[in-house]
Amino acid sequence: MKKILVLIFLLLIIPVKINAYNLGEAAILMEEDTKRILVSKNINKKKLIASTTKIMTAVIAIESKKMNKMVKVTDKILESYGSNIYLSIGEKMKLEDMVYGLMMQSGNDAALMIAEFLGGEEKFVDKMNKKAKEIGMKNTTFNNPHGLDEKTKNYSTAYDMALLMRYANSYPEFKKIVGTKKHTVKTKEKTYVWSNKNKLLYTYKYTTGGKTGYTEKAHRTLVTSASKNNMNLIVVTLNDGNDFKNHKELYEYGFDNYSMVKVFDKDKMNLSNKNIYALDDYYYPITLKEKELINIDYRVKDKDKYKNNEEVGSAIIKLGNKIIHEEKLYISVKEKHNKNKKNWFLKIINKIF
């Protein structure tokens, strides 16, 4: 009986393995806020990522805080091939608009100009790799800002790219750009009208953004995000010929089977000391069956004296035996009023007289 219960528990908490389904070489469905993996397939397998690279290029551009600066196009664009927005040498365009072209039209010329403008391609790629490490992308290497893989190659994993999309979505500017269906830009040379290549924006109403990618070596790559009922999901597929269809089906699986549940309520802690408090509630994506497996272990330091608002321990939230979150606990200590304590004015008067 014990073995059966353990098996049932494991089936409930382990991410669904879908190798039997046609999801390309690698795929992941991740809940954005908690990073919980709901579906996984070869998520740590290194693959060429094609133009999904441009998510990182956009992040570096946004973090430069130069989005309103004008970029003058140089002959660097002559190195570009594949998908372009067709910039002209000498043309000037605001960096922000260039990022729109980068993400909506997958402009390789835009990627080269962004890198050139922000310190040159070599320094820009260094920034990309440094940022990847900061985010926790342990199996990622960038060698260019566009994702073309004839001369240099960019490698990552489904898991790392989900982390990147999660980080990028923390910027409102990024979410606005990748969620835009149509964008018009006017320069002194020409007028650009761009439509987003992410088909999910038109076919799946909960889609919030994403980036497409394709090369002959990488095949189809796709990173997208969607939100419904206060739950934010990310899907990454690498080398998947049915990527748009599969992304939609993965989202429907996630939204149909999971919901964001308040698994820790700061106002309903089961503690004898009522002066102990937490700052935040905690929500976690779980299924109906998993609700019964949530339990909280309170660990509080035992001391004779505490300072007001001192950290005294943590609430360990578990799904079965797996720790899913630790919430810090603090204590409120009322300071005793000293009746014999005199204010500073009376002290001065007493000294004088």
- Out of 40, 41, 47, 54, which one is annotated catalytic? 54
Rounded CA separation 152/157 (Å): 17
- Out of 40, 106, 156, 259, which one is annotated catalytic? 106
Residue 332 a catalytic site member:
no
Residue 106 a catalytic site member:
yes
DSSP bridge pairs for 27: 41, 237
Residue 156 a catalytic site member:
no
* Beta pairing class for 276-278 and 282-286: unpaired
- Out of 40, 41, 47, 51, which one is annotated catalytic? 51
Is the alpha carbon torsion for 19, 24, 29, 32 positive or negative? positive
Task: Mention every residue, 6+ apart, whose C-beta is less than 8 A from residue 287.
Answer: 12, 257, 258
Buried b / exposed e along 145-172 (16+ C-beta atoms within 10 A): bbbbbeeebbbbbbbbbbbbbbbbbeee
Catalytic residues: 51, 54, 106
